[in-house]
Amino acid sequence: MRSAVASASRFLRHRPVGLALVLTGLMLVSVSSLSAADRPVTVSLAAADSTVARAAAPAETPQYEWQQITLKGPFAPRDGAGALVFKEKMWLLGGWNPSDKKHFPRICNNEVWSSSNGLDWTLVKPNTHLDTSFDRSSDWEGRHTAGYVVYDGKMWIIGGDVNQGHYQNDVWNSEDGKTWNYVNKGKDVPWGPRALHYTLVHQDKIWVIGGQTMPAFGGGPEKFYRDAWTTTDGVNWTEVTPEEPCFTPRGMIGGNVVFKGRIWVLGGGTYDTPTTPSRNFYNDVWSSADGVKWTEHTKAAPWFPRQYHDVAVFDDRMWVLEGYNRQGGNRKDVWHSADGVSWHEVADTPWAPRHAASVFVYDGGLWMVIGNNMTSDVWKLVRKSPTRTSLRN
């Protein structure tokens, strides 16, 4: 090794004037004479010693694969159910299925399921939202696409939908999934009326961002929001007003992404109203550290514009899964990104197209559970093990 390098060094010191030389590696030396066009001479030192450090190769995009856990879980099909990871279990909260009058007599129910492995599920809290005699002060009303977070050692439900003919301006929390505390009883949230909002935890606060009113379901004027509200107790809220530039008003994003100390808004959209009958579908990407100053990372990600999709942080990457667009309906594509700009699609998704699924990050995987495919299926995405190749001496 040293003699080869020494020889190359002597050649460099005594090369003819005008000789161009390129070093491309180690150990194997080849020298050519200059042509009339003064082409360079290449000295190629091919690696043959394991002690020689090679230049670092660009990081490869990780590869992932789906595992089928079950195609028929014990819970009834539904969409928009809350999905939380709490006390080393996955928790499924409520959901929507108006065609199933047995399990959803009031369009949505308020049952709670939990699982530690995705295959075996326990009904922790049966549905109590059965008829018009239901007492809204004693238990949370059935709902879907609400705000769901884990905060301060509890599971939280923030607001809800408008399927009961009114806005659900309540906040509930629980330490066990069975007994729920009406946090803001007698004091509606100040950011109502609102549905389809984006809910997350950031800087040790609960955040509600965006959303809209739904006059066709709950009456009142049409409003589309992009403001934010924060709380540490579910009762007292502080408004956060974004500065320009900022994303357009929207909601309809399931799950949440807080990544590298920033809140991320990935796509989303608006629901149709009598005044604005056309929905909006977005695929832009924004982030903010404080909810005031926002950065647009791309105007159009490579994934199709969508709403009712789910987002998550898994394997140090941001994820966008499934969703809905009026062009093509429900979707089944899955994308991930480490920076919000460069996106990679996971090929060959085995599960059926859907929107408003329940997505968990749990037990070293990204879980896809039920959704608007109206099947009680459970899937888990894991990172593939790197392919090992032997090195010849």
* The predicted structure's pLDDT at residue 21: 38
3-state SS assignment for residue 388? coil
The alpha carbon of residue 292 and the mean position of all alpha carbons in its chain are separated, in whole angstroms, by 22
Candidate from 9-18, 116-125, 143-152, 232-241 with smallest mean pLDDT: 9-18
Is it the case that residue 62 has pLDDT exceeding 60?
A: yes
* The predicted structure's pLDDT at residue 58: 59
Domains and CATH numbers, the chain: 2-43 (no CATH), 64-383 (2.120.10.80)
* The predicted structure's pLDDT at residue 304: 98
* The predicted structure's pLDDT at residue 60: 87
pLDDT in tens, 267-277: 999 999 999 99
Burial class (CB in 10 A: 0-12, 13-18, 19+), 251: buried
Residues above pLDDT 90, as percent of the chain: 82
What's the mean pLDDT in 136-141?
97
Give the global pTM.
0.85
Burial class (CB in 10 A: 0-12, 13-18, 19+), 317: buried
Residues above pLDDT 70, as percent of the chain: 83
The CB density around residue 284, as the number of other CB atoms within 10 Å, is 19
Is it the case that residue 5 has pLDDT exceeding 70?
A: no
What's the mean pLDDT in 91-111?
98
* The predicted structure's pLDDT at residue 73: 98
In angstroms, the Cα distances linking 21 to 10, 27, 28, 48, 289 are 13, 16, 14, 21, 50
- Nearest C-alpha neighbor of 196 from the set 272, 276, 106, 136: 272
* The predicted structure's pLDDT at residue 31: 38
Candidate from 20-29, 50-59, 192-201, 334-343 with smallest mean pLDDT: 20-29
* Contact status, residue 42 vs residue 24, Cβ threshold 8 Å: yes
Strand bridging mode 41-43 / 21-23: parallel
The alpha carbon of residue 326 and the mean position of all alpha carbons in its chain are separated, in whole angstroms, by 21
pLDDT in tens, 305-343: 999 999 999 999 999 999 999 999 999 999 999 999 999
DSSP conformational letter for 8: H
* The predicted structure's pLDDT at residue 232: 98
In angstroms, the Cα distances linking 10 to 3, 5, 7 are 10, 9, 5
DSSP conformational letter for 222: -
* Contact status, residue 362 vs residue 378, Cβ threshold 8 Å: no
pLDDT in tens, 242-264: 999 999 999 999 999 999 999 99
Q: How far is Cα 253 from Cα 174, in angstroms, rounded to an integer? A: 23
Candidate from 45-54, 185-194, 221-230 with smallest mean pLDDT: 45-54
First to last CA, the chain: 14
59 confidence band (pLDDT: 50, 70, 90) = confident
Candidate from 14-23, 286-295, 329-338 with smallest mean pLDDT: 14-23
* The predicted structure's pLDDT at residue 385: 84
* The predicted structure's pLDDT at residue 392: 44
**What is the chain's mean pLDDT, rounded?**
88
Is it the case that residue 2 has pLDDT exceeding 80?
A: no
Is it the case that residue 13 has pLDDT exceeding 70?
A: no
